[in-house]
Chains A and B, each alone.
Chain A
């Protein structure tokens, strides 16, 4: 090789290195800039173990997917989102972890939770720290009423919405007036509140109340209760159970071949999938399923299934939407300021909530208004293990005000103080 050739080669090498460096800089510059920008921190608390653990797992998957989508699109206000996930376990642990997140980790927002009891204590921590808390799975009406907080927004339906959704279906099936109802209720804050709303519906619509039994949340064996149902012979069995208990109850109800119609005032898709084709039965209200016929719902279901290898459940939707709504709010207001964002959410602004109609928060109790559904076993052979249920058309119908399902100010007064 001649000296000249060496020079030429060196020049070429330098050029190639320079070009590669330029291309690399071009490719990675945005992420470097993003990495340097201070992340927007979100503290995510939800039960990952115990009887609500299966829903908590979906909550985490939904929030993670939303974060990944937002960050891939450049973040919020040019800043990446960073979510800290914690198992909330029980109210005591939820309170201390929420406290640590706002004080030590300086999170900008709190998101998540399924247990109403834990949701209440997290909302108290959030209020003291003046941090927004978007709760995604707590049903208790009291959280929107007596225990409401200006810093807490509710992406989950409240118990009245669930009861009114299944109530409409029971009225349609002529299963209310003069019919004997027997209830079973999860023995904690959510269950007590749900039963109270169920009883209110029964009384208002002429159903005959036989009995309600409180069932410990960790109950796995229902044969004694099922024998009792057979002995009392009601016209309708109403389940106000929660989490894994619902799956076990359905399986054992089927095992004893009880022919008395079964309905429930609350259900999660994981309970349906856990029971499976052989055991899922009855009619139940649900906030969302992967069968919802709306364009954005289909896109979300596809993305979620690609990311996690299974379709989303109703809980995943709540946590996904919470992250997306926060991002929308920050982008629209150009701010992360709590007061600014509260005003934005209270303004009646519409959000794509992965249903036919858009949703909005009621300003006076911070409840997100959206369409609900009922589910029952699919007729014929399911097309997959995920499709053992069939989802109804949206409730209420397309021309009816979304608020007909929710309690009024008089029924569930909230004072933000």
Chain B
């Protein structure tokens, strides 16, 4: 193998890692904004990702791929708002441990419910015919479906960024993150904002489930498998920072991809080594902001 070919292969792995990072980002971003605004450590986030995948399979059977693709993330987002209105809002002023315990219990209930309804076996669900095939550019090859996933994920992330940074809604969210009492004192109710943020964050997890359903198994424990990586991304990126989470997700994707290439047995451990290194050098995460109520 020539050096040039080696370099192309390595670049291919780095690009693949970056793409994987975008999938982590979809999940981690929701976790980050829900925690930043409401102080909720949402351990049920992975379960919502799983619900997204199951809805995708179910709705595709009933109404076709296109309708499922649009409706499943919206339904998960609506479920997120319902969960916030019924349960999460009771924990905003409580000890964070309580919300952690509640969402842990909720995750277990959702996982077991999926197991009872659909069984423990993975559901059959494959990439739709129209999205199969490979993009070939010289030595570089990549599946169309993954390129499509990347495009959809990037659009979703851009819209989230736009909403949080360029609209009046986003300004209230940012103000609510840094000083919720002052926002309330100005006569702005954070209650509907918190509901909307939960809907957006959990809807992003649902979208990730929809996108990943055809390439990874759809089974009850799928949420658990991805949740740990998402938390690592949030911790590395730093709380309250959109770009911190983006940077961390891409970094985790690349490090994991390269470790898988050079030494697969350490691919899981590589995440934690990276987290350890970042926390030792910068305990607030790469771009974490100081939040008085969390200090």
The finding on whether chains A and B are genuine partners in a shared complex, rather than unrelated, reads: yes
Taking beta carbons and an 8 Å cutoff, which residues of A are in contact with B? Answer: 48-51, 53-54, 56-58, 184, 187, 213-216, 218-221, 223-225, 227-228, 230-231, 244, 247-248, 251-252, 254-257, 270-271, 273-279, 385
Known contacts A53-B120, A247-B217, A255-B215: A219-B267 contact under CB 8 Å: yes
Which of chain B's residues have a CB closer than 8 A to the CB of A247? 122, 217
Compute how far the CA of A213 lies from the CA of B263 in the bound complex, rounded to whole angstroms.
Answer: 7
Which residue, of B12, B122, B125, has the highest number of chain A Cβ atoms within 10 A? B122
Taking beta carbons and an 8 Å cutoff, which residues of B are in contact with A? Answer: 1, 9, 12-13, 16-17, 20, 111, 115, 119-127, 132-134, 141, 143, 145-146, 214-217, 219-222, 225-226, 256-258, 260-261, 264-265, 267-268
Which of chain A's residues have a CB closer than 8 A to the CB of B267? 215-216, 219, 224
Known contacts A53-B120, A57-B121, A274-B217: A279-B13 contact under CB 8 Å: no
Compute how far the CA of A278 lies from the CA of B222 in the bound complex, rounded to whole angstroms.
Answer: 21
Compute how far the CA of A213 lies from the CA of B221 in the bound complex, rounded to whole angstroms.
Answer: 25
Which of chain A's residues have a CB closer than 8 A to the CB of B256? 224
Compute how far the CA of A148 lies from the CA of B68 in the bound complex, rounded to whole angstroms.
Answer: 52
Which of chain B's residues have a CB closer than 8 A to the CB of A53? 115, 120, 219-221
Compute how far the CA of A271 lies from the CA of B122 in the bound complex, rounded to whole angstroms.
Answer: 8
From the candidates A213, A216, A231, name the one contacting B9 in the complex (CB within 8 A). Answer: A231
From the candidates B111, B115, B126, B146, name the one contacting A276 in the complex (CB within 8 A). Answer: B126
**Nearest 6 A-B pairs (CB), nearest first?**
A274-B122, A276-B124, A278-B126, A224-B260, A214-B265, A57-B120
Which of chain A's residues have a CB closer than 8 A to the CB of B134? 256-257
Q: A213 near B216 (CB under 8 angstroms)? A: no
Q: B120 near A48 (CB under 8 angstroms)? A: yes
Compute how far the CA of A331 lies from the CA of B32 in the bound complex, rounded to whole angstroms.
Answer: 62
Compute how far the CA of A187 lies from the CA of B265 in the bound complex, rounded to whole angstroms.
Answer: 7
Q: A230 near B120 (CB under 8 angstroms)? A: no
Least distance between B146 CB and chain A CB atoms (Å): 8
From the candidates B17, B123, B226, B268, name the one contacting A224 in the complex (CB within 8 A). Answer: B17
Which of chain B's residues have a CB closer than 8 A to the CB of A254? 126
Least distance between B267 CB and chain A CB atoms (Å): 6
Compute how far the CA of A223 lies from the CA of B16 in the bound complex, rounded to whole angstroms.
Answer: 7
Q: B119 near A244 (CB under 8 angstroms)? A: no
Which of chain A's residues have a CB closer than 8 A to the CB of B268? 216, 218-219
Which of chain B's residues have a CB closer than 8 A to the CB of A57? 115, 119-121
14 further interface pairs, Cβ-Cβ under 8 Å (given A49-B220, A231-B1, A254-B126):
A53-B219, A54-B219, A57-B115, A184-B264, A216-B264, A216-B265, A220-B226, A224-B13, A228-B261, A244-B217, A248-B215, A257-B133, A270-B121, A271-B122
Least distance between B250 CB and chain A CB atoms (Å): 15
Q: Which chain B residue shows the least CB distance to A217?
A: B268
Which residue, of A187, A252, A278, has the highest number of chain B Cβ atoms within 10 A? A278
From the candidates A227, A251, A274, name the one contacting B16 in the complex (CB within 8 A). Answer: A227
From the candidates B9, B120, B260, name the one contacting A225 in the complex (CB within 8 A). Answer: B260
Q: A256 near B120 (CB under 8 angstroms)? A: no
26 contacts between A and B (CB under 8 A): A49-B120, A50-B221, A53-B115, A57-B120, A57-B121, A214-B264, A216-B264, A219-B267, A224-B16, A224-B261, A225-B264, A227-B9, A248-B216, A251-B214, A251-B216, A252-B215, A255-B127, A256-B134, A256-B143, A257-B143, A273-B121, A274-B122, A274-B123, A274-B124, A276-B126, A278-B127
